[in-house]
């Protein structure tokens, strides 16, 4: 009898483990979540499958457990999302491996994957590699890997990412090897080969990106197209060899800032023909009527691609349908800036760590997508009983919450009802008033 009961228990347990995934699951390094690591979560996608949309929410930590291998995962038309949980900071690594997130449409229809708000670093190849997979989106991620993102399907997107390419030989920031790719509001720096590489990706749209290749790499190209004809609009494109190279002209190109690190006008190379001036390029291609050649004047060409106050890109673009905010989530002006950054004067409010009379307002994360944690620290924090006010860019107060740091700790604000844009958090703290800018994406 005992053996029969044991057999029933084992059978029930195995059936529970085999249940398809559906809903939200947690990833926690301390073992208290549904999964210990991203690799475990990916393994469950492969072995258990899914019966509905799935969200994996990860908690604070550095997850360096190896490749997140989804090559045999059949998503069956459902969406799978990897993202940090509320207010959490999450880094995913695969030291020495060729990929961090990996899938292949040849082995299984691993489509509709979303990777949001993560830091991806420390691997010897691609942060994300998904050949022949469709409807993938990488958004709001910080990437520091030898190569950036490789997509080889249709309708794949890279949005609002900071991609710092660390490879020393022929490295690539974003690689589209299929049709209908879309990249917008991205910073790409450090590529020794190509900032963006497209292969037979004639439907690709590159809008409002800042692409600055490694200035020490004499062969680096801002955008290289092989059998592709992309739409280029509102981009900063800086190369070392040339800014653009391809077998044919882009399908469309305008409102771009083109530049070479050495300042020369040898910007374009198409079908074995060099175009040494913007005038000759416009005359032959009939493109880039409102584009120009100039140093974009970013803060730092490796670590910070935001525009300086004197940048010629400020106010030099035109609105693009659907792109209403920039890399930071700040609103685009009626006459927007070229590149991923919409310039806002420094000094209107402090960007980070604003401090008056030893009172400090901490906002994490910032920029934020769904929730944010607000803390008041410093001399007044132990006795401070006040209120928090959230104002929109016009100065209108949109939210008020009591704030007593000594008893409640960080205050969690729900941002789900707020539109994307710039807000200001203000807290009276004794004799001082602390103000911090908050960007909602």
| 61-63 vs 268-270, strand pairing mode | unpaired
pTM, two decimals, is: 0.78
Each residue's pLDDT tens digit, 92-133: 999 999 999 999 999 999 999 999 999 999 999 999 999 999
Q: In this predicted model, what pLDDT tens digit does every residue of 241-291 receive, in sequence order?
A: 999 999 999 999 999 999 999 999 999 999 999 999 999 999 999 999 999
Burial 256-266 (b: 16+ CB within 10 A, else e): bbbbbbeeebe
82: which DSSP letter?
E
Please name which of 114, 111, 121 lies closest in space to residue 143, comparing C-alpha atoms: 121
Residue 80, pLDDT score: 98
The C-alpha atoms of residue 266 and residue 260 are separated, in whole angstroms, by 8
Angstrom distance (rounded) from CA 158 to CA 219: 25
The secondary structure element, H or E, covering residue 93 is strand 90-93
Q: What pLDDT was estimated at residue 346? A: 47
To 5 degrees, how large is the angle CA 415–CA 417–CA 421?
65
Q: What is the mean pLDDT of the chain?
A: 88
* Predicted local distance difference test score (pLDDT) of residue 395: 64
Q: Where are the alpha helices (DSSP H) in 323-374?
A: none
| Residue 101: predicted pLDDT | 98
State how far Cα 31 lies from the chain centre.
28
- The pLDDT, as a whole number, for residue 386 is 67
pLDDT of residue 370: 78
Return the HEC string of 376-388: EEECCCCCCEEEE
Residue 284 structure tokens: 């032959």
What distance in Å separates the CA atoms of residue 358 and residue 287, rounded to the nearest whole number? Answer: 55
pLDDT of residue 3: 52
Q: How does pLDDT run along the chain (441 residues), one tens digit per residue?
A: 445 544 444 444 444 457 999 999 999 999 999 999 999 999 999 999 999 999 999 999 999 999 999 999 999 899 999 999 988 999 999 999 999 999 999 999 999 999 999 999 999 999 999 999 999 999 999 999 999 999 999 999 999 999 999 999 999 999 999 878 999 999 999 999 999 999 998 889 999 999 999 999 999 999 999 999 999 999 999 999 999 999 999 999 999 999 999 999 999 999 999 999 999 999 999 999 999 999 999 999 998 999 998 999 999 999 999 999 999 988 898 899 999 999 976 433 333 333 334 456 788 888 888 788 887 766 444 444 567 878 776 666 788 887 665 545 688 888 887 888 778 887 765 445 677 778 887
pLDDT at 404: 62
């Amino acid at each position: 009898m005992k053996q029969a009961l044991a057999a029933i228990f084992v059978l029930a347990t195995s059936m529970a483990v085999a249940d398809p995934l559906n809903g939200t699951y947690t990833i926690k390094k301390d073992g208290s979540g549904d999964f210990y690591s991203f690799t475990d979560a990916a393994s469950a996608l492969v072995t258990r499958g899914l019966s509905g949309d799935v969200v994996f929410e990860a908690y604070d930590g550095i997850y360096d457990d190896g490749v997140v291998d989804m090559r045999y995962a059949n998503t069956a038309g459902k969406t799978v999302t990897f993202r940090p949980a509320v207010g959490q900071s999450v880094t995913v690594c695969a030291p020495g491996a060729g990929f961090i997130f990996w899938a292949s449409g040849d082995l299984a229809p691993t489509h509709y994957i979303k990777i949001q708000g993560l830091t991806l670093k420390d691997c010897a190849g691609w942060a994300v590699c998904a050949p022949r997979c469709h409807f993938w989106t990488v958004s709001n991620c910080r990437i520091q890997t030898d190569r950036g993102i490789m997509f080889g399907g249709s309708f794949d997107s890279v949005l609002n990412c900071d991609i710092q390419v660390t490879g020393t030989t022929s490295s690539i920031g974003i690689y589209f090897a299929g049709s209908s790719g879309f990249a917008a509001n991205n910073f790409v720096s450090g590529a020794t080969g190509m900032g963006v590489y497209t292969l037979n990706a004639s439907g690709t749209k590159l809008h409002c990106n800042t692409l600055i290749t490694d200035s020490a790499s004499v062969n680096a190209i801002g955008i290289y197209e092989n059998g592709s004809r992309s739409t280029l609009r509102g981009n900063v494109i800086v190369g070392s060899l040339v800014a653009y190279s391809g077998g044919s002209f882009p399908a469309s190109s305008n409102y771009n800032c083109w530049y070479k690190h050495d300042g020369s006008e040898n910007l374009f190379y198409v079908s074995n023909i060099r175009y040494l001036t913007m005038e000759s390029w416009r005359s032959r291609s009939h493109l880039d009527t409102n584009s120009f050649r100039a140093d974009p004047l970013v803060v730092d060409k490796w670590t910070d691609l935001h525009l300086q106050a004197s940048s010629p890109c400020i106010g030099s673009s035109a609105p693009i349908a659907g792109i209403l905010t920039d890399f930071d989530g700040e609103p685009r002006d009626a006459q927007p800036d070229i590149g991923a950054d919409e310039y806002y004067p420094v000094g209107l409010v402090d960007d980070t760590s604003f401090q008056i009379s030893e009172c400090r307002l901490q906002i994490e994360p910032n920029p934020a997508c769904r929730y944010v944690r607000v803390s008041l620290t410093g001399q007044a924090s132990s006795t401070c009983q006040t209120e928090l006010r959230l104002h929109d860019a016009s100065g209108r107060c949109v939210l008020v919450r009591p704030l007593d740091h000594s008893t409640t700790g960080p205050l969690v604000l729900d941002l789900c009802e707020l539109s994307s844009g710039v807000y200001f958090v203000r807290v009276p703290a004794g004799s001082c008033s602390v103000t911090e800018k908050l960007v909602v994406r």
